Amino acid sequence: MKKTLFDKIWEQHVVEERQDGSSLIYIDRHLVHEVTSPQAFEGLRISNRVLRRPDLTLAVADHNVPTENRINGIKDNIARIQVETLEKNVKEFKVPYIPLMDSRQGIVHVIGPEQGFTLPGCTMVCGDSHTSTHGAFGALAFGIGTSEVEHVFATQTLIQKKPKTMLINVSGSLSIGVTAKDIALAIIKNLGTSGGTGYVLEYSGDAISDLTIEGRMTLCNMSIEAGARAGLIAPDAKTYEYIKNKPMSPKGEAYDKALEAWKLLPSDEGAVFDKVINIEASLLEPHLTWGTSPEDVLSINDVVPNPKDIDKENLRNAMQDSLDYMGLKPGQALTDIKIDKVFIGSCTNSRIEDLREAAAVAKGRKVADGVHAMVVPGSGLIKIQAEKEGVADILIEAGFDWREPGCSMCLGMNPDQLKPQERCASTSNRNFRGRQGRDGRTHLVSPGMAAAAAISGHFVDVRKFN
């Protein structure tokens, strides 16, 4: 029988099929951060259980960490205790850990691939919904809750129902200025935030093959915003090249053997998916969100939608509520929306390519008066690379605030937050109410669009900068 990439990974990881139709699935890689792990470690202690495979686990603090003056430590007591708790737990349970002041520290979904911890064909989990990011390597990677984190600690397995599969075929090529982020936003617009619920998405087609590994991570990262716990892209030469020589990836004979196995992973020609969606890349434009759900997506040259055009009462009211919260009027051109803040960062868009994309727009220009634009690299290594390449200098000269790595304003657990009614062009993944700060207004965009907005003081078609 012809198999999909997902089928192949799933079959290789079934420890036991259970009578009720669910399966016990082996977990090859477990990423851990400070926010969703303390109760799981505590659970092990209470039940007197061991952490079965610390060697398949990797921990880092990212959500709570300050992105400036880090040398002074974490000022917020409760946040500091949470990071210290992680440090205590990784010591007690012998989990490999990247300390806060280590240059390799960064966002958990950035450091996994960067350290070679993420591999094709593996199953990977983390107490974080954006674990879908690692699907860019052909890993079956998904977010779990804290109870499941404890389950993986204790058993290195999870009980799972086999999800359905959806193929998203993106044919053709993207125009200049249109990026992986725009593909992601277009897909979420198409599927809605629950259209992917119960599915694993596989992205394929020329436009996907053409994406860099960084772009693929951006796309897979946002699968959860369409409701899908995991997104997958078949590994290819770019994937193997990226993985080679990373600190934790296989070396020598182990790499050669791995490569043989990885090459068997891509979906067989003619494999059947439960659902198929086709998207033509050349038709995509730079996108942004206008509302308070990631499905509220428009092209940059559109206007704010009108609730009067919505038939169903509860949806019409929901749209009006969103517009009121966002401070927008029906019919208003998106390019007329002025911004206060810019956030370039998050596990969606904080990698070197994202920073280069922003720098290409910012080069020789200045951030508009009254706009505060911050750039938060995904990891210390990316920060160093951007500084070496001159990307950091371009951004700093243009007036961007160059920060230390972490999750930062994507969710504002640290001091990086929007004030009420502040409007932000953000390269993150969620525009939920209050996400970036109470009553803050978030518009999701690509790094290029964020940089262009920073320079202009309002949203603008990034293609005008190319």
Residues 347-406 that bind other proteins (CB under 8 A): none
Tokens in use for 361? Answer: 């727009």
**DSSP calls for 69-81:** -GGG---SHHHHH
Find all residues with CB under 8 Å of 22, minimum gap 6, and list them: 159, 160, 161
Euclidean distance between CA atoms 225 and 196, whole angstroms:
9
458 binds other proteins (CB under 8 A): no
How would you classify residue 390: left for phi > 0, otherwise alpha for psi between -120 and 50, otherwise beta?
left
Instruction: Indicate the residue among 38 and 399 with the shorter CB distance to other proteins.
Output: 38
Among 5, 7, 23, 36, binds other proteins (CB under 8 A): 36
Near other proteins in 116-145, by CB under 8 A: 116-117, 119, 127-129, 143-145
| Lookup: tokens for 144 | 């779990």
Contacts of residue 228, defined as CB under 8 A and 6 or more positions apart, other chains included, come to 132, 166, 196, 197, 199, 200, 201
Comparing CA positions, the residue from 146, 155, 163 lying closest to residue 231 is 163
Nearer residue to other proteins within complex by CB, 157 or 267: 157
Cα–Cα separations (whole angstroms), residue 53 to 27, 95, 142, 151, 308: 10, 9, 19, 12, 56
Question: What DSSP designation does 106 have?
Answer: B
> Is there binding between residue 311 and other proteins (CB under 8 A)?
no
Q: Are 424 and 341 in contact (CB under 8 A)?
A: yes
Closest CB 357 distance from other proteins, rounded Å: 26
CB of 118 or CB of 179, closer to other proteins: 118
Residue pair 207/179 in contact (Cβ under 8 Å)? The answer is no
H or E stretch at 170 = strand 164-171
CB-wise, 188 or 281, nearer to other proteins?
188
The answer to whether 289 and 443 are in contact (CB under 8 A) is yes
- Tell me which of 193, 306, 320, 332 binds other proteins, using CB under 8 A: 193
Q: How far apart are CA 128 and CA 346, in angstroms?
A: 13
Give the amino acid at 169: N
Regarding 148 and contact with other proteins (CB under 8 A), the answer is yes
Nearer to other proteins, 351 or 430 (CB): 430
293 binds other proteins (CB under 8 A): yes
Nearer to other proteins, 371 or 407 (CB): 407
**CB-CB contact of 19 with 59 (8 Å):** no
Which region, judged by CB under 8 A, interacts with other proteins, from 36-44, 335-343, 350-358, 392-400? 36-44
User: Does residue 310 interact with other proteins by CB under 8 A?
Assistant: no
Give the per-residue contact string, 404-433, with other proteins (x = CB under 8 A; - = no): -------xxx------x---------x-xx
CB of 404 to other proteins, least distance (A): 19
The pattern of x and - marking residues 231 through 260 that bind other proteins according to CB under 8 A reads ----------------xxxxx-xxx-xx--
- Residues numbered 92 to 111 that lie near other proteins (CB under 8 A) are 96, 98, 104
Q: Which CB, 24 or 277, lies closer to other proteins?
A: 24
* Shortest CB 128 distance to other proteins, Å: 6
Contact segment (CB under 8 A) with other proteins among 115-123, 208-216, 326-334, 348-356 equals 115-123
